[in-house]
Amino acid sequence: MTPKVVQIDIPVSNLEVALSFYESVLSLKASPAEIYGRVILEVTEGSQVGIALVLCEKEFSLPQESSPSSPGIAVYLEVEHLNEILSQCRSLGRSCSETQKNPPYGLLAWIEDPFGNRIHLCQPFKA
């Protein structure tokens, strides 16, 4: 059986700041569910991948550049309004990239949360 992704944990040092960021930028709200101290974020009904915020007790650092050759996991989220999300992220003073076209997949960009986690976003080309 081939493995499939079922959960993405995002390390954070402040849950309140993290929840505020993910709700205001990506409209992800905290679910009432709790699994082993993680704050579970609500995802689209029928999604086979869950997202959780995990409080890290000690300081951590993440690579400055995110590329296939850098360590760590890249998270890709499909979104409908990529440029609006980038604008919202910039208004909060967070780092983000410019939009790039990547045929045949669509528009790609990344945003950075308050803890340096880089989230990759894609908006499919309209058919």
CATH class of residue range 7-57+73-123 = alpha beta
Residue 4 has a pLDDT of: 66
Spell out the domain ranges in the chain: 7-57+73-123
Question: What pLDDT sits at residue 2?
Answer: 63
Flag residues of the chain having pLDDT under 50. 59-72
Structure confidence at residue 65 (pLDDT): 39
Q: What is the pLDDT of residues 7-39, one digit of tens each?
A: 888 888 888 999 999 999 999 999 887 677 678
pTM of the model: 0.67
Round to whole Å and give the CA distance between 25 and 106: 20
pLDDT value at residue 21: 95
